[in-house]
Amino acid sequence: MDVMSSDDELFEQLVDLEVDDTTPPPLRHAVPARHLPDLEPGTLVTVGSKGWWWLVDELLVRDGPKQGAEDLYYELEPLTEPGAAEIRARVVDNPPWVSTTYRRPVYVRDIWVYRDDPTHRTQAESAPPAPDDLEAWMGRLNDVSQPPPVQRPYPARDVPLLLNRRVRVAKATGEWMWCVCVTEPVQFHGGDDIAVGVVTVEDYWRLAYNTEPMDRRLVIFPKIHTVWCY
């Protein structure tokens, strides 16, 4: 996909992550919440129970821990909820309760938090197996009696569809940030750089719920080889 020449100046201004390192981000391990200090509000968590289902990095801690009938629990809200509540609060005719966020209690035993491996950097994984590669797909089968699996990075450039996918982007400081892709890979005129348009996770959900026109200045275009999927 080629960027139209009329947009070159704008797009080049948005390429503000001068990173050429192809080192992948670290492995991510799911740590039981009961083995961690009290989780702060805003912590992104994974919820489920061994043997049935997982909601990975889709809920935020709102409050807690509190003592319940069976165990300690946290009040959790969907990742999208703070933005949704912000928009609801601006609607003129809404009653006061509409602007409050929706939350639910979840026992600590059913909460996990993904943490970066502090000691291990890995070679990037290969791209996901092709749909007709039955042997490779069978190798991905997970034992549902086990905790959430280790998350391993692989290059975003090997993923056939990036739109709306959550990715990890390298920053010039050596840190990593979570973003969501809002374009497929693009090539800039006058150079060999291939990039992909992303916004931060916070901006993605803010834009999804906002009634104002999208501000294109929120979109950044990191080089594709510095973008990683899990």
> What token pair was written down for 83?
């933005």
How many Å apart are CA 209 and CA 190, to the nearest integer?
Answer: 36
How many Å apart are CA 174 and CA 26, to the nearest integer?
Answer: 12
Strand intervals (E) in the chain: 28-32, 44-48, 54-67, 72-78, 104-107, 111-116, 154-155, 166-170, 176-181, 186-187, 194-195, 198-200, 227-229
pTM: predicted TM-score of the whole model, two decimal places: 0.67
Mean pLDDT within 95-115? 79
More confident call, 11 vs 166: 166
pLDDT at position 75: 93
- Please write the tens of the pLDDT for every residue from 122-159: 555 555 555 566 565 555 555 555 678 888 898 998 88
pLDDT at position 7: 46
Domain boundaries, the chain: 1-25+153-230, 27-120+145-151
pLDDT band at 184 (very low <50, low <70, confident <90, very high): very high
Least confident span in 14-23, 59-68, 204-213: 14-23
pLDDT band at 104 (very low <50, low <70, confident <90, very high): confident
Please choose, from the candidates 20, 25, 13, the residue with its C-alpha nearest in 3D space to the C-alpha of residue 193: 20
Distances (CA, A) of 115 to 32, 104, 121, 137: 10, 23, 13, 26
Mean pLDDT within 93-118? 78
**Considering the domain 1-25+153-230 in this protein, what is its CATH number?**
2.30.30
Residue 76, number of CB atoms within 10 A of its CB? 25
CB distance 86 to 106 below 8 Å:
no
- Of the segments 14-23, 44-53, 122-131, which one has the largest average pLDDT value? 44-53
Residue 81, number of CB atoms within 10 A of its CB? 20
pLDDT band at 49 (very low <50, low <70, confident <90, very high): low
